[in-house]
Structure 1
């Protein structure tokens, strides 16, 4: 009787292994068919995995603005994109306005505290680009007030 019990256990184990094998084969076939029908879903090209890549606007410039970043077009644009947007958004750059000295001081601060690499020969080009396109803006006087209804304050 024990041999019949052992035989049934072995048959059950074989049955479970066959079911598992059938499941693996079925999944493999479906995966193979999916890959065959959708090969682009499994490509791993640099253009598709880049952090700053925006396929429909990357590299395009309209009205003097680089569409992917919002940076002003000019000499040093590529270097600024390559060195600044690796760590933070372009918006962080465009919302700031500094002199050449201010940009250099900010770069030094990032190198000392934020692990910014040495910019080497590109630093002068980057600083010139930033100081030219993102310099402080002069603020003039406010506009003259017009259509104001003046009134007298009562005396205490």
Structure 2
């Protein structure tokens, strides 16, 4: 009986956690998260580069702003209106922030094999 109750409790807690985790809708063509600002990012950013450049990056608002400024200074990206820039930065910093977990955690140096090139 205890095992049965434990199983039921575990199933209920797993079900509740699944319901609590909102799945993000992903655009099938670009791979970008569909959220406020998606259309602006899609039409502005993918003119010059693949959306994979965005999905592979992580950054807070300041990091994304520095990437935009770098593209404006060195890659010929035009200057955005303040409203468009805010919309893009809001979208990127919310949906592609450093807090988003992607992949595995980095290995500790103690878990790494010895470097054969170190003396």
1:4-153 equivalent positions in 2, closer than 5 A: 64-120=25-81, 121-137=83-99
Q: CA RMSD in A?
A: 2.5
Q: Provide the rounded CA distance (Å) in 1 between the counterparts of 2:48 and 2:54.
A: 11
Q: 1:146 maps to which residue?
A: none
Deviation at residue 141 of structure 1 after TM alignment: 7.2
Alpha carbons of structure 1 residues 141 and 116: separation in structure 2 relative to 1, 3 Å: closer
**Structure of higher CA gyration radius:** 1
Higher relative contact order (CA 8 A, sep 6+): 2
Q: Report the number of matched residues.
A: 82
Which structure 2 residue ranges, 5 or more long, are not aligned? 1-23, 107-119
Deviation at residue 119 of structure 1 after TM alignment: 1.4
TM-score (normalised: structure 2): 0.62
TM-score (normalised: structure 1): 0.48
Q: Provide the rounded CA distance (Å) in 1 between the counterparts of 2:100 and 2:33.
A: 19
Deviation at residue 107 of structure 1 after TM alignment: 0.4
Deviation at residue 127 of structure 1 after TM alignment: 0.4
Deviation at residue 137 of structure 1 after TM alignment: 2.9
Deviation at residue 118 of structure 1 after TM alignment: 1.1
Q: Provide the rounded CA distance (Å) in 2 between the counterparts of 1:119 and 1:80.
A: 12
Deviation at residue 104 of structure 1 after TM alignment: 0.4
